[in-house]
Amino acid sequence: MAACICPSPCVSGSWRGPLALPPSPKPLPWFEASEQPPECTKCTASGMSPGIQPLLRPGVHREGWGLPPTPHTTSSLLPPPSSSGHLKPLPLGTSLDTSRDAPGRGLRQQAGLGSPGPSPAPSEPARMFGLLSPWRTFDNVVFYLTLIVGLGGLVGNGLVLWNLGFHIKKGPFSVYLLHLAAADFLFLSCHMGFSVAQAALGAQDTLYFVLTFLWFAVGLWLLAAFSVERCLSNLFPTCYQGCRPRHASAILCTLVWALTLPAVLLPANACGLLRNSTHLLVCLRYHVASVIWLLVLACVACTAGVVLFVWVTCCSTRPRPRLYGIVLGALFLLFFCGLPLVLYWSLQPLLNFLLPMFLPLATLLACINSSSKPLIYLASGRQPGKREPLQVVLRRALGEGAELGARGQSLPMGLL
């Protein structure tokens, strides 16, 4: 006959607590709380209130219970009886796991008996998972939002590259926008590729972040140069016309791409982001120089945008210059969506320790910064009430037609 455990403890015995079960090679069968095998009626037959029916070893008669020896099948995980033939009570603080998550295992002791050390209560992992699950959900939401925004940015910047590179006549400022779209396209491509690789393979490498931030820094430098040149061309048109070289935009963009590589890779290499070895003093010097360089670029870009806005709004009587809305929109995105990633580059160890979720949020904002610029171009070139092809809108927003002077020659684009 199978052993049973009644729902409440017996009240007629001198000791009122759970009894240890004798060892047996077979596990205790599972019973629902509502199911009661025939042995449960022996509690009432022996004069005890319904409670725990002691499980007895074959051939052992328990004093005080008045029950004949009965064969039982019990769990082998519980301690044997004492030398006097009585079953030992379990130590205080011991719980019997009879949950439904482990059918067929029988009763399981959670106080450490049968194991070299104490194991955690089953509720602790559940509580831990309950605390961590909101953060995991938040991380997943940010991850998929970043992928969606990055995919849209890839399409938008790809269209800008195609039209500016092959279908729109380029001027001095359009060269900056072409290189800026290329930097944003590389940033989004690297981030999406590395994110998918990390999610699929589970590999975490600091090289991913370094390569992604490299193209972000290129875009920051290009935006600063574009804003300064647009501001100077509007403040000092005559001086800017006479002093500016013809191919200054192309030369400056080439220098930006060439100088950003050592400006980002040297601090990353010295601080152990590209290899395992780290030199503390060298890392500190390079990192401080890199942070100062990035902050100077951001301040120069924002200052140029503010000066241009004040001059056009309050001081200038001429119409708004071309690309004015593009400059202000790009600087607005940089201030609110680009600077968090610069802050993370500057304080990476501290933010990793204090705010682990700062990097996903900063990356999402940086993707918004790079993906929203094509939308600014479309809004700048679109005419209300007209439905025009995309190429026409981009040509109106980004193209630079030459204005004819008195002698019929084209003036420098700085005057536009």
pLDDT digits (tens, 9 = 90+) for 92-102: 444 444 444 44
Specify the pLDDT at position 77. 45
- For 395, the enclosing helix (H) or strand (E) is helix 390-398
Specify the pLDDT at position 243. 81
Residue in the block written with tokens 């979720």: 357
Q: Which residues pair with 96 in a beta bridge?
A: 109
Whether the Cβ atoms of residue 266 and residue 189 lie closer than 8 Å to each other = no
HSE, CB side, 13 Å, CA atoms: give it for residue 170. 19
Specify the pLDDT at position 392. 86
Residue 293 to residue 86: CA distance in whole angstroms: 81
- pLDDT category at 39 given cuts 50, 70, 90 is very low
What are the φ/ψ torsions at residue 33 (nearest 5 degrees)?
A: -65, -30
Structure tokens at 378: 């479309």
Reference 400, options 415, 410, 413; nearest CA is 413
Whether the Cβ atoms of residue 414 and residue 226 lie closer than 8 Å to each other = no
Residue 163 to residue 392: CA distance in whole angstroms: 10
More confident of the two residues 196 and 81: 196
Residue 163 to residue 170: CA distance in whole angstroms: 10
pTM: 0.65
Q: Where in the chain is the domain with CATH 1.20.1070.10?
A: 138-399
Is a pLDDT exceeding 70 seen at residue 5?
no
Mean of all residue pLDDT scores within the chain: 73
Tell me the average pLDDT across 69-75.
46
Specify the pLDDT at position 29. 45
What are the φ/ψ torsions at residue 215 (nearest 5 degrees)?
A: -75, -30
- For 394, the enclosing helix (H) or strand (E) is helix 390-398
Pick the CATH number of 138-399 from 1.20.1070.10, 3.30.420.40, 3.90.79.10, 3.90.1170.50: 1.20.1070.10
- pLDDT category at 132 given cuts 50, 70, 90 is low
Specify the pLDDT at position 240. 80
Is a pLDDT exceeding 60 seen at residue 408?
no
Tell me the average pLDDT across 285-297.
93
Is a pLDDT exceeding 70 seen at residue 54?
no
Whether the Cβ atoms of residue 262 and residue 269 lie closer than 8 Å to each other = no
Tell me the average pLDDT across 171-195.
93
| DSSP-derived 3-state class of residue 410 | strand
Beta-strand (E) ranges in 10-158? 96-97, 108-109
Whether the Cβ atoms of residue 11 and residue 49 lie closer than 8 Å to each other = yes
Residue 168 to residue 162: CA distance in whole angstroms: 9
Residue 82 to residue 283: CA distance in whole angstroms: 67
Specify the pLDDT at position 125. 43
Whether the Cβ atoms of residue 291 and residue 217 lie closer than 8 Å to each other = no
Is a pLDDT exceeding 80 seen at residue 253?
yes
Is a pLDDT exceeding 60 seen at residue 131?
no
> Which residues lie closer than 8 Å to 203 by C-beta, 6 or more apart?
197
Which of 81-85, 110-114, 202-206, 325-329 has the largest mean confidence? 325-329
Specify the pLDDT at position 73. 44
- pLDDT category at 394 given cuts 50, 70, 90 is confident
